[in-house]
Structure 1
Amino acid sequence: MTPRDAADASRWSDLDRPPLNAAALRRGLVREGGLWTAVDVVPRTGSTNSDLVALAAAGKADEGSVLLAEEQTAGRGRLDRQWSAPPRSGLFFSVLLRPARIPVGRWGWLPLLTGVAVATGLSRAAGVDTALKWPNDLLVTVGGEERKAGGILAERAGEDGVVVGVGINVTLRAGELPVPQAGSLVLADAVSTDRDTLLRSVLRTLEDWYTRWRAADGDPAVSGLQEAYAAGCATLGRTVRAELPGDRALTGEATAIDADGRLVITTNTGTREPVGAGDIVHLRPA
């Protein structure tokens, strides 16, 4: 056995973190007439998003393709931030969507839609109250503190596709957290950390919301998505600082999510300013 093989073997020896069962996931998720058309699991990759974008570009992935990795070595969040975790400690996956006939201007709702689906799916399967920090962070409560346990990243895949990537910390222990502000489902006292069960719940909920959104031609109000996102968004009602492109900052109360999925911030002068991109810092507890 080479040193590399020995290192790999030690990394895969954690019995508290069993591997995903790809065959069972396919049986449970891929069905005639359903959204999910393929479910593939790889032991390790740089980024499932990058891989699925490349497969889509090469014509080797259909809508509904799901790619999961037991370990990501170059996982990315917004603003190219790195996302790393021990092997089999989380759910790291990407899905390919092709929202044909939906106006492109409404595609920006896809990461928010995914956030609603992930939060709902985890609540059902893990018994964890998961909130959403605009635009794409998943928050859990650990020891009375709000912690980030996951994130969502959407990328265009050609002219007609979007790849949405999701990373969720499932069994990360306190000593494995990358930063003090991070959290995981196990630290939030999840009733289940079975990743197969969690993934099925999340993807079934995502299919339901995506189908509803498409049936409404991507209209966030008609589909109920705008209301659902606002109901689960921990950012609303908070005093926040928005760190915007061009080294600009805006402070005020987060008061609404508008029809374009933007966060509306009301300043102390009463001005309502929609923010479509930027880092949001929560300045006081909910």
Structure 2
Amino acid sequence: MDNFCFACHDNNGVNNTTVRSITGGTATNPFNDTLKNSYDQVTRPGVIDVKTQFTTTNYSHHAVSGQKYTSSTPLFSASPNRFVSTFTPLGGSVSIRDTSTIHCGDCHTSGKWATSGGIGAHGSTNEYMLQTASGTDTTHTSTDYVCFKCHVGSIYNDLGGKTLGGTAAHITGGNGSDYTHTAGTTGLSARTNGDGHITGMTCSGCHNCGQTGWGGIHGGNASYTDGNNTSQQTRRFMPGMGNSKYIPGGWTSGTGATCYTLNNSSWSTCNQHPSGGKSVTRTPRAITY
């Protein structure tokens, strides 16, 4: 199914002129429409080049075009396991882990691979044609994002109150407003209201491979300037739409990182951690393994 999706979602868009038979259709806008949806209502520049976002040499990429990690499983082997033990990716034989590969249909309601209902890639009840954590086609809530199909929700779905291994908060001393859910609302101003951001999904506030850019959670290979005015690479899918000046403090340690939000973009209004930022704790692990 992945290659079918990439036939349009790549760096040259829809080359097949029969597919874009609608009058005025182009490679980057095959249906000659407004390139926006009814909920965030923001116009895209064209068909998203997802294939390039999944390039296996990118600083960050979800493992669709190939594995991200190949030789060990520090997150899978952690106590508790950071991955959902009951979820096995499409075509896989073991539960999800660091070394797994996944497919478009594991997250999106794609064709016969949809978990329920055979919804296909034509449309979806949920925003961005995403499944929920349980694989259904319903509007996601703050506790059943598709992210939690793989990543254990009880660890990651409340930045102020959940713990990693029972010893350290995902964000040390974080407060409730760090976890802002605005999905289901209509229009940019509603979705960015109260420290929210354009996708409405809390996770993208910190993870998007950059502050702006559609589909950054697929992967990315860019650089950004952190809160210390230092150039950084978009590793661990950082920074996000709100946490735009994230200071990694070294990517492999469990401490030393700082969240840094400036409310300086139409993509997010988050201003929880300006000037000086907020220290965070992480699971220590290597960049590659």
Higher helix share: 1
TM-score, with length taken from structure 1: 0.28
Normalising by the residue count of structure 2, what TM-score does the alignment of the two structures yield? Answer: 0.28
Greater share of strand: 1
